[in-house]
């Protein structure tokens, strides 16, 4: 694990999988990212901060990472154009 002294939390998730996907996205965009899991796996229910999975980036990358994640969310929320000529899905 990388030293987290100058790394900031860019986003918090409820599962390791969600956090890993976002960390991978940031890394694909050139921003080193680390997943910090505080999940408590001994109990069936997560509670408090024992149920967080954090994605951290270097402090100098924090603003760009936030912009990328915001743009990503906007793109996921907007439906794409419909291609009238595309064959129907089976």
Contact 53, 10 (CB under 8 A): no
Domains detected in the chain: 7-69 (3.30.70.1530)
Pick the more confident residue, 26 or 37.
Answer: 26
Q: Encode pLDDT of 27-84 as tens digits.
A: 999 999 999 988 765 555 545 545 689 999 999 999 999 999 999 888 877 766 666 6
């Amino acid at each position: 694990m990388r030293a987290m002294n100058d790394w900031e939390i860019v986003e918090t998730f409820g599962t390791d999988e969600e956090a890993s996907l976002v960390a991978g996205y940031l890394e694909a965009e050139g921003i080193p990212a680390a997943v910090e899991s505080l999940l408590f796996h001994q109990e069936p229910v997560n509670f408090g901060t024992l149920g967080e999975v954090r994605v951290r980036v270097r402090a100098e990358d924090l603003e760009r990472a936030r912009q990328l994640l915001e743009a990503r969310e906007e793109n996921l929320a907007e439906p794409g154009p419909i291609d009238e000529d595309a064959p129907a899905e089976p």
